[in-house]
Amino acid sequence: MPELPEVETTRRGIEPLVRNKYVERVLVHNASLRWPVPSDLKTTLLSQKVCSVERRSKYLLMNFEQGTLIIHLGMTGHLRVCRSGEERRKHDHVELFFTDRSILRFNDSRRFGAIFWTNADPLQHERLISLGPEPLNGLFNTDYLFRVSRGRKIAVKPFIMDAHVVVGVGNIYASEALFRARIAPGRQAGQVSRKAFALLVQSVQEVLTEAIAAGGTTIRDFMDTEGRPGYFKQELRVYGRAGEPCTACGSTITQTRLGQRSTYYCPKCQR
DNA sequence: ATCGCCTCCTGCGCGC
DNA sequence: TGCGCGCAGGAGGCGA
């Protein structure tokens, strides 16, 4: 469920609440996430201090003094910081208890999320090492996108959702960015012009930046660490708007499936 | 190498 | 009210 803006919203919410806190207890109620939660997590984290919380792609990197806890929220993952005494909820699979009596809880109903530990550079972790560039830094640009797309027959929408190409662009923002760039989502990536990709790069950056500023998008259940929804849903121009008029031309927004994912676009504006 | 399909899991909304 | 179905913001792994 969370795409880059939701993960970044989570990071910003969590970091001030966990930074400089010491772990005094760890409870793993259900270790069967996408990959098993490390069985020695308790001993690893005990008495360690959280130094910072960073993000790479949709991974949260919780840096401790001796290593990094890598957290992926999958489709339904949430992190929240509770006060001592607050009841545990259904699907709270992992809890970190801090010495100040606050508790960091990882909740994930579908359990597509993941938690890893590494003592080394987290960017070298096998799940992160081959990721493409961040969308909001200079490495993601027209030349790069044009170059890596040549010869590719995959549709442009799943292409930009491929984390080897660029990270952080999930199903909502892929549709939104392609609408803004006026590119039909089913076009072969290799057939998209340099000029169109220039607009797409700009559109991806705009939509992600705006979504972060709005605290992410809440479709069904995304909440920030304070329990607030993200407000970007009202800014969505095509996602979830099948049958509604296009905000640009009035044509009917169409829904289709591409790479097993729901895809929304304006058949007139997007070519 | 690339592509498209399947899978993991739970919950919810819909039509009947 | 209940049931079955399809769908959901991710992404690894498979066979072709």
Query: Is the CB of A163 within 7 Å of strand B?
Result: no
Asked if A51 CB < 7 A from strand C, the reply is no
Would you say residue A70 has pLDDT above 70?
yes
CA-to-CA dists, residue A73 to A9, A104, A138, A149, angstroms: 12, 14, 26, 28
> What is the overall mean pLDDT for chain A?
96
Active-site residue set of A: 2-3, 58, 261
CA–C1' A21–B9 (A): 32
Q: Is the pLDDT of residue A141 over 80?
A: yes
Number of neighbouring beta carbons within 10 Å of residue A49:
16
Q: If you measure CA to C1', which residue is closest to nucleotide C9?
A: A1
- The upper half-sphere exposure of residue A202, i.e. CA atoms within 13 Å in the direction of its Cβ, equals 10
Q: At what angle do helices A194-213 and A142-149 cross, to 10 degrees?
A: 120
A227 pLDDT band, cuts 50/70/90, is: confident
A153 CB and strand B closer than 7 A: yes
The residues that bridge with A149 in the sheet, in sequence order, are none
Please report, for residues A79, A150, A200, A221, the alpha-carbon distance to residue A48 in angstroms, rounded to integers and kept in the order given. Answer: 19, 47, 43, 32
- The pLDDT, as a whole number, for residue A218 is 82
Give mean pLDDT, residues A247-259. Answer: 96
Which range, of A99-113, A127-141, A219-233, averages the lowest pLDDT? A219-233
Angle at A118 between CA A160 and CA A138, to 5 degrees: 35
pLDDT at residue number A230: 87
pLDDT at A225: 73
Read off the pLDDT of residues A78-88 as tens digits, 9 standing for 90 and up. 999 999 999 99
Say whether the CB atom of A157 is under 7 angstroms from strand C: no
pLDDT at A1 over 70: no
Task: Tell which residue, A101, A94, A5, A98, has the closest CA to residue A41.
Answer: A94
Whether A90 has a pLDDT exceeding 80, the answer reads yes
